[in-house]
Every structure is written in structure tokens, then in C-alpha cells.
Amino acid sequence: MSTISSTLTSTGLGSGIDIDSIVDALVTSQTSAKQNQIDTQTEKQTTKLSAVGTLKSALSDFQLALATLNTSTTFDGLTASSSDSDVASATASSGATAGSYSLSVTSLATSSKVATQYVDSSESFGSGTLTLSQGSSTYTVKVSDGASLSDVRDSINALTSSSGISANIITDSSGSRLVLSSTTTGEGTDISVSTTGDDSLSALAIDGTAAYSSDSGGYLTLASDAQYTLDGLSMTSSSNTIDSAVSGLSFTLTATGDTTITVATDTDTLTENIQSFVDAYNTLVSSISSLTSVTTTTSTDDDGNTTTATTAGALTGDSSTRSILRSLQNLLVNVSDSSGSLKVLSQLGITTATDGTLSIDSDKLESALETYSGDLESFFTGSDGLLSSLYNSLEIYTKTDGLLDQQTDTINENLASLIEQQTTLDTRIDKLTETLYAKYNAMDTLIATLSATSESVLSTLNALNSSDD
């Protein structure tokens, strides 16, 4: 609000009138209505701007919670465990069914490891090529004239690093050997090396199907398949990770021995994740409620007089906020057509309280998790599941240049307009103050002149009266 200030340092000297108070009262009477309007609207728009920011933050936090929960494993419903994790571990995924499986591991899948014959560490090789073979893959390594054994190793590693084949040099008192290892397991993946070019390269040739000999090289470990039985059925695998033997179940073999794999409802994790969803929703509803609620308070003074005051939230009656709540509430009661026999949240013991928050009947939920364990994933995290539906319904409000950003822009435009109105009003106040001071100061000067004239006349008359006497 503009401050009214006098254009003179001293007023009313001639008349004795308090010109400052008169001017202040007149200016206030002509501008107070507009000033009050500007002050009220500025406070209202500023409060609303803060409230819209709080709302957007609350919606974004809820979307983040939904995105965190909306994964392929959060509501799997089933978990796999091994009675002996030293023998094998297991994980359950979509498609798994409850049950137990007897697993006996006879041997693990192994990878090929081969070595060359002994080579003098100071040996240098003539030019030529090495051809590494593994299954249907071949790798041609060029050897330059005068290359050392370490040069050959480095050339192999540079070529085969992405294929899982690596080369190293093992040295003892008898000499050095080039050793090739592979990360690929399974029968038929043994490594062999053939050479062409200078005769010196023949010392690096390896028959991957022959046992190692210091004179000819060969395999140190043959590549082989894992052998195991599952519920008495004999099976093999080229990898120690087996993900196709049982639908929805993956095994990782780590040692020979026996274990039992059990697939059962993961009640604790499911309950925790469902509670996280409910908590996130209730936090959002509470935030919105604080922005839209109407509160009535009653107070009584010492004389027994009762006063009632009503306070409305900054977004009370806001259409966007009402639409958000209505959209979320409708999605919570929608019937799902793609999650088997699980159709609505209430089947899980989740219901809406009178204040709009969700509550969980823990006994009903525990029972429902057993009944609907296979349907939870599609209900919550399917392509059109509840979590993605809730998330997507808020995007129109929270995205960049969305409805809340547009609302913020409108509020900022209103505040800018109010600043302009204040500037205009301040200019009017200054001009009105200047005009009024000019008028009243002129009046004061006139009164002072008249007063001086009056005093002069009276002095003259008094002097005449005295001479007559």
C-alpha cells in the first residue's frame, strides 16, 4: 500500500489547521477501496500460487511412488526358495505356479580351457595367423614377424574380448604356456587353435579335444553340459542357469548335490508392497484435503460471547482439484477385465473410508493373497493395470505445460496485473496528495495574510483611539 507523505515540512502555520491529517483522510477515503481490493487479491493469488505448487509436488510424489512399485516383480505373488542354496538357487517370475521340485545335480556345466605346449619365454615368432575355433565361431589373429608370446596374448585378447575368450601366460621352471579360457559353457564349445605361416607358430597349435601334453598342448578342462534330475527326470543343460525347464521358474546350479525348490506365495513382500501403495495414496489424499478443507472454529471470550470463524483452504472449490480426486476415486473402483478372478480392490480387503483415504482389512488381505496370488501382477502392474492407470490419469496435470503449469501461469499473470494496478494507484495517490496539499497550503497562506491584515487594522484603530483620548 502506498504511503501518503506531505509535500511540505510544516503545514497549517497560518491557520493552525492539521493539514497533514486532513490530506491523509481525504486521500484514504478516495483510494482505500481500491487498495483493499489489491491487497486482498494479492494475498489470495499468492496463497493460491503456493497451494498449486504444493498440489503439483504431492501429485509428483504419488507418481514416483507408483513408478517405483510398477515393476514386473513387485506383485509377482510367488517366491522360490531352495532348501540348500549351496547346491542351487531359484527365482520365480510370471507364469510360475505354487509347488515343490526335487533337484539333484550330478555335474555342473563347464567351459573350455586349453593350453599350448611349453614355449621358451624369450621365443619370438615369424609372421602368420592363428585361427581360434569354438563351436561354429572362428577368430583369425594376425602375428607379426618377431612377435613375442606376450604380443600374441595381447593380440588374442584384443580380438576376442567381447566373445568371452581370454588369453594368459602361465610360467614355471619348465617354461611358459599360452592358456586360453572361455566363459561359454556346454558341450561342443571346446577351443582349438590352428596355425598358418611361419613354422615357429606351430608351437601355438592346440587340439581342443586332446588331453594336455607338454609336447603338444591340449585341453585342461573339457566343455560339458550340466547333468541333473528334476523330480526324477534326467536332464542336461549347456548353462548352469536353467530357465526353461519349469515355466516361470529359473534355477542357478552352483554345486553337485540335492536340494528342494519350493514355490509359494510371498505373503510378506506382497503385504508390504500393497501397504506402500495404500500409504502413498493416503498421503496424497491428506495433502489435497489440507488444501481444500473448510474448517469452522468456535471461541468464547471472558464475557461468555461466542464467536464462530470459518477458514477455507486455498483450493476449496477449485475445479482441477475436484477433477483429480474424482478421477482417482473412479479408477479405484473400476472393474478389471484382465486380471483373472481379481476384479476390484475390495476383494483384497482394501476399502475407501469416509475421509477418502484407503484402509486395509489385514485378515481379509491375508486370505485374499492366497486366493488371488496369480492375479496380483496383472491387476496392479499389467499393461492396463491399476498403477499405470493412476499414473497416466495424473499426467495431464503434472507434465510440463500441463494443467497445473497453465494454472500457475494464470496466477502469475494475475499477480503481475495487480502489481501494475498498485503502481497506477500509487501514482494516483501521489498526484492527489500533491493537489490537496497545494489547495490547503494556499488556503493556509490566505488565512495567514488575512490574519496579518486584521492585526494591522486593529493596531491602527487602537492607535487612533489612544490619540483621541
In a domain, 71, yes or no: yes
Same domain, 275 and 411: yes
Same domain, 121 and 7: no
Same domain, 438 and 318: yes
What pLDDT band is residue 449 in, cutting at 50, 70 and 90?
confident
Same domain, 391 and 314: yes
**Locate cell 519350493: which residue?**
262
Cell of 333: 473402483
Q: What share of the chain in percent tops pLDDT 90?
A: 69
In a domain, 302, yes or no: no
- Residue 11: predicted pLDDT: 56
**CATH code of 207's domain:** 3.30.70
- Residue 72: predicted pLDDT: 80
Same domain, 401 and 389: yes
Cell of 98: 505354487
* Least confident range of 34-38, 96-100, 127-131, 463-467: 463-467
Averaged over 200-207, what is the pLDDT? 94
Same domain, 89 and 37: no
Please state the φ and ψ torsions of residue 243, each to the nearest 5 degrees.
-125, 10
CA angle 402, 407, 410 (to 5 degrees): 130
In the sheet that 88-92 helps form, which strands lie side by side, from edge to edge? 88-92, 249-253, 241-246
Same domain, 234 and 132: no
Q: How many domains does the chain have?
A: 3
Cell of 309: 470463524
Report H helices in 341-402. 362-371, 376-381, 386-398
In a domain, 400, yes or no: yes
- Residue 9: predicted pLDDT: 42
DSSP type of residue 206: B
In a domain, 162, yes or no: yes
Give the span between the Cα atoms of 206 and 114, in whole angstroms: 7
Same domain, 100 and 171: no
Give the burial class of 232: count Cβ atoms within 10 A of its Cβ; 0-12 exposed, 13-18 middle, 19 or more buried. exposed
In a domain, 464, yes or no: no
- Residue 20: predicted pLDDT: 87
- Residue 226: predicted pLDDT: 97
pLDDT tens profile 212-263: 987 888 999 999 999 999 999 999 999 999 998 998 899 999 999 999 999 9
User: What mean pLDDT, rounded, does the chain reach?
Assistant: 89
Give the span between the Cα atoms of 389 and 315, in whole angstroms: 25
Cell of 426: 500509487
Cβ of 280: how many Cβ atoms within 10 Å? 20
Q: Is the pLDDT higher at 10 or at 350?
A: 350
pLDDT tens profile 54-67: 999 999 999 999 99
Averaged over 80-84, what is the pLDDT? 94
The answer on pLDDT for 295 being more than 80 is no
DSSP type of residue 86: T
- Residue 405: predicted pLDDT: 94
C-beta separation of 354 from 348 below 8 A: no
pLDDT tens profile 100-151: 999 999 999 999 999 999 998 788 999 999 999 999 999 999 999 999 999 9
In a domain, 459, yes or no: no
- Residue 156: predicted pLDDT: 96
Same domain, 271 and 371: yes
What pLDDT band is residue 181 in, cutting at 50, 70 and 90?
very high
Q: Is the pLDDT higher at 449 or at 328?
A: 328
What pLDDT band is residue 353 in, cutting at 50, 70 and 90?
very high
Please state the φ and ψ torsions of residue 298, each to the nearest 5 degrees.
-125, 135
In a domain, 137, yes or no: yes
Residues 6+ apart with CB under 8 A from 418: 38, 41, 42, 45
Cell of 93: 517370475
What pLDDT band is residue 303 in, cutting at 50, 70 and 90?
confident
Domain extent at residue 87: 78-108+226-265
pLDDT tens profile 355-391: 999 999 999 999 999 888 888 989 999 888 999 999 9
Cell of 438: 497545494
* pTM (two decimals): 0.65
The answer on pLDDT for 14 being more than 70 is no
Cell of 150: 606376450
